[in-house]
């Protein structure tokens, strides 16, 4: 998919670049992003909205993959940006991302983060709870500012996805609960807050969602809530944000819907529901993360040790693992793989791909068919563009890999590989001759 293909050498090529040469040039593990495919995904969402005729904003959920280069690309594509921490906000601002197109999420924004966002004059805060409503109102008031907000509500929808990544259900740490009347109360508080300007509501029902039903139910509940808010407080919303969560293909059996399908369903449901309740059409916002970058990223590893347990299993170990892709260990996420330098050879050996961390759970793939491999071969794991680099870590003091963007035969380094010095950069050796016992 994307610009991936097999070249004359029988190697995996991405964005016109031979992946085996990329591995040589930049080292492994290496995150390779197909820039054209990322841009294509951005445009697919935008074009689907344009076709719907509704006013909209597509905000890339930067948590999926947040680097300065990615923020720049998103800016060029005209999207907005969803950030959830001072770190993501800082990355975006350093990349020159226009502050007015930044939306700030999070269930426990610190006063420092809020002040940073106020000073930068970001476009919108998505307020998650009563504590934040009061805090934001106070901090904005002290600075003589009026800030635009959405209220994040949990519409009580159980998205059919892994428990850890489903967020719209009532019993969630995120947002104001709709069922108990808490959300309506939050609308009232927001309207009473002098330094806050309530634009509308936000909900996010989960992630890696393969159907549209959850969005339809969420929109129905949000519209009902807005009808009540209008009736009780005369509040008319101008924005409805239905979050992200659009699924992607990780393995052959996955059947994600096209961006157009999600957008068409969401847009037509909003049209119908709002008309039904006699409410003016809002500007519709979405926040795709995974579906923008997920399948545009491929991780390249070098194969090292193998271990065969007769009649049981063959383990093939790579020079990365849960430090660069935490998803298999955390969510039992499933991936496929190919040997980048043996793309034309028959995949007739069943193996399991192990990481190099000191942890039995550090398995990238259980049971995958590959051609016979040897040490030095390059393993490519596709669909690692979302929440791979973003959740990478230094467990076992393993340095984070580099990231390259590839396009039209050119490869551009956008994140340098961490060095051993980077790993000890924040460490301080106690000055005392001996640590106190």
Binding residues for ligand LLP, rule: CB under 6 A, are 61, 64, 82, 105, 165, 167, 204, 207-208, 243-246, 287-291, 327, 331, 386-387
φ/ψ of residue 379, rounded to 5: -95, 130
Query: Any known ligand binding at 53?
Result: no
DSSP 8-state symbol, 64: G
The number of residues making up the chain comes to 437
CB burial string 328-342: b at 16+ within 10 A, e below: bbebebebbbbbbbb
Query: Any known ligand binding at 280?
Result: no
List, in order, residues 6 or more apart from 397 with CB less than 8 Å away.
423
User: What is the C-alpha to C-alpha distance for residues 323 and 333, in angstroms, rounded to an integer?
Assistant: 15
CB of 437 to ligand LLP, least distance (A): 42
Of the candidates 197, 150, 401, the one whose C-alpha atom is nearest the C-alpha of residue 299 is 401
Task: For ligand LLP, give the closer residue by CB, 156 or 245.
Answer: 245
CB of 139 to ligand LLP, least distance (A): 22
List the beta bridge partners of residue 314.
308
Query: Any known ligand binding at 264?
Result: no
Query: Any known ligand binding at 245?
Result: yes
Contact 16, 407 (CB under 8 A): yes
Known active-site residue 71: no
Task: For ligand LLP, give the closer residue by CB, 290 or 356.
Answer: 290
Of the candidates 391, 367, 281, the one whose C-alpha atom is nearest the C-alpha of residue 316 is 367
Task: For ligand LLP, give the closer residue by CB, 200 or 342.
Answer: 200
CB of 163 to ligand LLP, least distance (A): 12
Angstrom CA distances, 180 to 149, 176, 365, stand at 22, 9, 43
CB of 104 to ligand LLP, least distance (A): 11
CB of 84 to ligand LLP, least distance (A): 7
Query: Any known ligand binding at 401?
Result: no
Catalytic member of 17, 66, 124, 358: 358
Scan for tokens 């519209």, then name that residue: 223
Task: For ligand LLP, give the closer residue by CB, 265 or 302.
Answer: 265
Task: For ligand LLP, give the closer residue by CB, 26 or 262.
Answer: 262
Strand spans (E) along 122-281:
124-127, 147-154, 176-177, 196-202, 239-241
Binding residues for pyridoxal 5'-phosphate: 245, 287-290, 387
Binding residues: 245, 287-290, 327, 331, 359, 387
Binding residues for substrate: 290, 327, 331, 359, 387
For the annotated catalytic residues, the residue numbers are 358
């Amino acid at each position: 998919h994307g610009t991936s293909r097999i070249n004359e050498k029988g190697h995996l090529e991405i964005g016109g670049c031979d992946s085996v040469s990329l591995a040589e040039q930049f080292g492994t593990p290496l995150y390779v992003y197909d820039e054209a495919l990322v841009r294509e995904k951005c445009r697919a969402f935008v074009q689907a909205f344009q076709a719907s005729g509704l006013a909209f904003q597509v905000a890339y959920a930067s948590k999926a993959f947040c680097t300065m280069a990615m923020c720049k690309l998103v800016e060029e594509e005209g999207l907005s940006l969803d950030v959830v921490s001072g770190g993501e906000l800082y990355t975006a601002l350093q990349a020159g991302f226009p502050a007015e197109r930044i939306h700030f999420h999070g269930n426990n924004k610190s006063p420092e983060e809020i002040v940073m966002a106020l000073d930068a004059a970001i476009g919108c805060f998505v307020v998650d709870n009563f504590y934040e409503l009061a805090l934001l109102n106070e901090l904005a008031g002290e600075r003589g500012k009026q800030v635009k907000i959405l209220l994040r509500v949990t519409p009580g929808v159980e998205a059919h996805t892994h428990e850890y990544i489903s967020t719209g259900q009532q019993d969630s740490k995120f947002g104001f609960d709709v069922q108990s009347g808490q959300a309506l109360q939050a609308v009232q508080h927001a309207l009473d807050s002098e330094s806050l300007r309530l634009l509308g509501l936000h909900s996010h029902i989960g992630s890696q969602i393969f159907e549209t039903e959850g969005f339809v139910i969420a929109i129905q509940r949000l519209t009902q809530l807005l009808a009540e808010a209008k009736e009780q407080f005369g509040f008319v919303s101008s924005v409805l944000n239905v979050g992200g969560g659009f699924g992607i293909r990780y393995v052959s059996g996955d059947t994600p819907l096209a961006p157009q399908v999600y957008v068409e369903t969401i847009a037509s449901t909003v049209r119908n529901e709002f008309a039904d309740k006699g409410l003016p059409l809002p500007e519709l916002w979405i926040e795709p993360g995974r579906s923008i970058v997920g399948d545009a990223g491929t991780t390249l590893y070098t194969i090292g040790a193998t271990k065969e347990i007769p009649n049981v299993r063959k383990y093939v170990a790579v020079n990365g693992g849960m430090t660069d892709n935490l998803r298999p260990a955390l969510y039992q996420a499933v991936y496929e793989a190919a040997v980048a330098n043996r793309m034309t050879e028959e995949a007739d050996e069943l193996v399991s791909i192990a990481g190099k961390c000191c942890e039995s759970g550090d398995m990238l793939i259980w049971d995958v068919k590959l051609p016979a491999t040897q040490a030095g071969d390059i393993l490519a794991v596709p669909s690692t563009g979302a929440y791979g680099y973003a959740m990478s870590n230094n467990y076992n003091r393993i340095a984070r890999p580099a990231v390259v963007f590839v396009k039209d035969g050119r490869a551009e380094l956008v994140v340098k590989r961490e060095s051993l010095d980077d790993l000890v950069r924040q460490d301080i050796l106690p000055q005392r001759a001996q640590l106190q016992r």
